[in-house]
Amino acid sequence: MSPAPAPAATIVIFGGSGDLARRKLVPALFELHRQGLLAPETAIVGFARSVGSDEEWRDELAAALDEHGRGGEDAEEARRSFASRLHAVRGDLRSDASYAEMKRRLEGIEAARGLPGNRLYYLAIPPSGIGDAARRLGAAGLVHPVEGDGPFSRLVVEKPFGHDLASAHALNEAVHASFRERQVFRIDHYLGKETTQNILVFRLGNGIFEPLWNRRYVDHVQITVAETIGVEGRGKFFEEAGIFRDVVQNHLLQLLCLVAMEPPVAFEANVVRDEKVKVLRSVRPPSREEVLRDTVRGQYAAGAISGRAVAGYRDEPDVAAASTRETYAAWKLQIENWRWAGVPFYLRAGKRLPKRVTEIAITFKTPPIALFRHAGCAVGEPNVLVLRIQPDEGIALRIGAKRPGPTMRVETVKMDFRYVEQFGEATPDAYERLLLDALNGDGTLFARRDEVEAAWELVEGVLDVWAESPPVDLPNYEAGTWGPEAATELLARDGRRWRRP
């Protein structure tokens, strides 16, 4: 799991002038360059209809680094050497002639830089174009079919990977017409976050926690992805997707797998992903009655975030005036295996909530004896272990301690670890790790085909019931609050409540 310098390769970014390339991909590649993790020969090629000459694209990306790069003392010198890696190919995703031109340019760049023909294609394009782009790459002779002693060809695909189970399956088939499964890297940036990777290290690298990580000691688990922002100009996309497809199907289920999976026998791609798939297969498919009982949909109305008035979802651009699309979702899951039987997992995701936070909260069972009650002392809150993924990365443990004084009084205190305080530096961007792993052919932090389809199978069971029973009370929570009242009642029925980050 330690980073290794990447082999020399040509990195082709489809959508090279797009928002993702400017905000994330190029700044991440620049950091890898600055750290010496890219081979000197490696080239970066932007492919898009809007790119111009090599120099014009370099100027465009220089502006992107000004806005989104980290800077630093050595940034200017590193940027000059980084610019020499950048090349542009103007073309249309749906034009065979453009792929032929790409092939000609890549071969020329590789010959000039002494590259061996290794290629990493990054599809930073709308989901509707992924299958067609993969097919055209194969038809144009731009894909080496197998990996061995010869050069490699790999494909990186952004989420969402499909809109439902049928479309995910069809997309997998389209991609596999040109690329084998081991050549495909389905990216979810959450898995590249340092704090997400630390879940396994924390669990398996500390002997005091792994023995407690089961139904005997854990009361329940909450996983939260909360955002203060609204749809941010993505109204058209959100009207089609909703938060259940956009966040629950990938981010939340990925975090669920990392928390609930069995310890892998090795940190190898297929071994780790095998255990994640087992978790998804162990989730009990809910019946129609269970979906209606154990899920909650919400949509934000006008309200205030940090004292600033914000519009309701139905007033956002490109959103229908009577939209029933959900911007909040909560889901109670049961994992039916030996480790977790009887332990509920509560998942929630929402937009326009009071705080931006992604965290996993593991609540332990209370002691089974009445010792403190007999002493006339009430025991405080149960022990809670919180793994903070963002933005305040760290780990906190809430425990009971005796308050100083002549009487027996138990008070809840918190032990808190923060990454920035301990390590004194900002954590690397997720895309840095994921791009490096893709170049090195390490698929551990990427989703495999069966994992994607298993997640869609679960999610589709909920979406089908929701489609049959559209909500009638939307919007049902005010922007700046923690979601609809029904979400509070979901836990209250079990004698529990949501943690307030």
Active site residues: 251
3-state secondary structure 58-91: HHHHHHHHHHHCCCCCCHHHHHHHHHCCEEEEEC
The secondary element (H helix, E strand) that includes residue 305 is strand 303-305
- 82, 38 contact by CB (below 8 A): no
Tokens of 425: 């530096």
Q: What angle do CA 468, 469, 475 make, to 5 degrees?
A: 135
440 DSSP assignment = T
| Exposure of 43 in the CB half-sphere (CA atoms within 13 A) | 24
Residue with tokens 């088939």: 173
Q: Which residues contact 368 (CB under 8 A, 6 or more apart)?
A: none
Strand-strand pairing, 344-350 and 218-226: parallel
Strand-strand pairing, 153-158 and 119-123: parallel
Report helix, strand or coil for 295.
strand
- Sequence letter at residue 455: A
Largest CA distance in the chain: 85
Cα–Cα distance list, 106 to 70, 99, 191, 270, 459 (Å): 30, 10, 31, 32, 40
The secondary element (H helix, E strand) that includes residue 22 is none
Q: Which phi and psi (to 5°) does residue 36 adopt?
A: 75, 25
Cα–Cα distance list, 418 to 277, 423, 450 (Å): 31, 9, 35
One DSSP character per residue, 339-360 reads TTTT-EEEEEEESS-SS-EEEE
Tokens of 186: 């389905």
